[in-house]
């Protein structure tokens, strides 16, 4: 899923850096200090999961987790993915320096889509939250794969076949991410629902009745 240096035209790389920088700026604007531990944990999970790649012909596939990252972090998801990609680039040479902006957009934008869609679909019900998590988990990976194919296609006709192969290779990943996201939402809903952006159920407040208490049975009526 990571695009390396020298694959894309320089104009695409520069433009993607500008757009990705704007995405990081927006994430920073919504950043809250109390969310920093959660962002660190989610970024670490994304960092580790996306390092484990499986070769598939001319490309390779790995878990992306845009659904989970988007669900848990909301607008901060783009910042989380950007930081994870920067660390992967400089520590393990995953992707390239000139392609950092493209890779950030390719995985960060689907995470933002997943964040908004999950909040829109679920209403606090567990079953609906799990189904919403499954949907955004698979959809986020599918959108990232489409972005990958489109970016590769900008490299010229030599990359058309690679773009098509990359799109097909991510079909099993979409299925896996659907199941992983559903399982994760189900688990968090049961053990730590505060981590999910679900509406808090309003407890029914009992209001005292204005009617006076009935006289005890057998007592004489008042004169």
CB 90 within 8 A of CB 47: no
Q: What is the pLDDT of residues 65-102, one digit of tens each?
A: 889 999 999 999 999 999 999 998 888 887 788 889 99
Judged by average pLDDT, the poorest of 77-81, 155-159, 208-212 is 208-212
CB 54 within 8 A of CB 60: yes
Q: What is the pLDDT of residues 49-68, one digit of tens each?
A: 887 777 666 566 778 888 99
**Domain range 10-195, its CATH number among 1.10.1060.10, 1.10.1760.20, 1.10.10.10, 3.30.1280.10:** 1.10.1760.20
Supply angle C-alpha 144, 64, 33, rounded to 5. 105
Predicted structure pTM score = 0.81
């Amino acid at each position: 899923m990571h695009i390396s240096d020298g694959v894309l035209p320089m104009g695409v790389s520069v433009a993607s850096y500008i757009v990705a920088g704007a995405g990081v700026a927006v994430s920073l604007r919504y950043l809250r200090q109390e969310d920093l531990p959660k962002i660190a944990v989610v970024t670490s999970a994304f960092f580790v999961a996306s390092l484990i790649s499986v070769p598939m012909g001319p490309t390779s596939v790995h878990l992306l987790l845009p659904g989970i990252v988007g669900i848990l972090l909301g607008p901060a998801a783009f910042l989380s993915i950007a930081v994870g990609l920067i660390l992967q680039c400089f520590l393990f040479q995953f992707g390239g320096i000139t392609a950092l902006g493209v890779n950030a957009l390719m995985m960060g934008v689907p995470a933002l889509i997943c964040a908004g869609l999950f909040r829109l679909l679920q209403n606090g019900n567990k079953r609906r939250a799990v189904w919403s998590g499954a949907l955004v988990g698979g959809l986020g990976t599918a959108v990232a794969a489409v972005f990958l194919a489109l970016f590769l296609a900008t490299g010229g006709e030599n990359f058309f076949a690679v773009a098509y192969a990359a799109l097909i290779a991510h079909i099993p990943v979409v299925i896996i991410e659907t199941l992983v996201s559903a399982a994760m939402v189900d688990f968090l809903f049961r053990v730590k629902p505060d981590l999910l952006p679900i509406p808090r159920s309003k407890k029914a407040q009992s209001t005292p009745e204005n009617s006076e208490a009935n006289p005890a049975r057998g007592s004489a009526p008042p004169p």
